[in-house]
Amino acid sequence: NAGVMQNPRHLVRRRGQEARLRCSPMKGHSHVYWYRQLPEEGLKFMVYLQKENIIDESGMPKERFSAEFPKEGPSILRIQQVVRGDSAAYFCASSMNTGELFFGEGSRLTVL
Amino acid sequence: GENVEQHPSTLSVQEGDSAVIKCTYSDSASNYFPWYKQELGKGPQLIIDIRSNVGEKKDQRIAVTLNKTAKHFSLHITETQPEDSAVYFCAASNRGSGNTGKLIFGQGTTLQVKP
């Protein structure tokens, strides 16, 4: 049973470009969470989604960030017009109902 | 909203000694408290968790205690080994029907075990 799969593992973007991060949850998991980790810091909650629904986006910046979890395919975290402050590791976690959260290996975004 | 404070931020111990990491939480509705270990360049991995209906849980060299009245919980690692060196995060959430179950994390503790 494959774990939570995130890609790309590393992404480099120039300021103003768009970044798309993908997350495939564990088989059978319908709950997806996105977290951001700045260097030397803890994990900050961004958004919680179920299939085709955003349940809690209280941690998402108001502009430039969006997330989706379509009926088919992976969850996508999209960052438009990236700035240097967006450089971070973005982690996806999935769970079955309200059980244990399993994390992926993360996508590390570097904005030049 | 929920806030989780974690101490210390760094901890250095000799191999074989014990390590203790402490966390406090603010939301009295929190009922689930996991601990994650994160190695360099990797994602967090769950090492132990405790729910609010128990006060202590042990798994080999790792134990977690919970004091609901004081709203704090602790991770205890005994007989530490160099491979225990990593960053450890505590977290809290309100899991159950009608809740999002999102985890709120502490700031992390960098544990170094010296051989």
Q: What percent of chain B has pLDDT over 70?
A: 97
Residue B94 — pLDDT band, cuts 50, 70, 90?
A: confident
**Sign of the dihedral defined by the CA atoms of residues A27, A30, A31, A36, in that order:** positive
Of B43, B95, B107, the CB nearest to A103: B43
Scan for tokens 């969850």, then name that residue: A75
Rounded mean pLDDT of chain B?
A: 93
Chain A residues touching B95 at Cβ < 8 A: 98
Angle at B115 between CA B41 and CA B110, to 5 degrees: 40
Judged by CB atoms closer than 8 Å, whether chains meet at A41 and B107 is answered as: yes
Checking if the pLDDT of A41 tops 90, the result is no
3 state SS for chain B: CCCEEEECCEEEEECCCCEEEEEEECCCCCCEEEEEEECCCCCCEEEEEEECCCCEEEECCEEEEEECCCCEEEEEECCCCHHHCEEEEEEEECCCCCCCCCCEECCCEEEEEEC
Question: Which residues in chain A have their CB less than 8 angstroms from residue B99's CB?
Answer: 98
Q: How confident is the model at residue A1 (pLDDT cuts 50, 70, 90)?
A: low
User: What is the structure's pLDDT at B97?
Assistant: 67
Q: What 3 state SS string does chain A have?
A: CCCCEEECCEEEECCCCCEEEEEECCCCCCEEEEEEECCCCCEEEEEEEECCEEEECCCCCCCCEEEECCCCCCEEEEECCCCHHHCEEEEEEEECCCCCCEECCCEEEEEC
Q: What is the mean pLDDT of chain A?
A: 93
Which residues of chain B approach chain A closer than 8 Å at the C-beta? 1, 6, 34, 36, 42-46, 49, 89, 95-97, 99-108
Does B44 sit within 8 Å of A103, measured CB to CB?
yes
- Share of residues in chain A with pLDDT > 90 (%): 81
**Percent of chain B predicted with pLDDT > 90:** 83
Please state whether beta strands A88-95 and A75-79 pair in parallel, antiparallel, or not at all (unpaired): unpaired
Q: Residue A39 — pLDDT band, cuts 50, 70, 90? A: confident
B48 confidence band (pLDDT: 50, 70, 90): very high
pLDDT the model gives residue B109: 97
Q: What is the pLDDT of residues A68-111, one digit of tens each?
A: 999 889 999 999 999 999 999 999 999 987 678 999 999 999 99
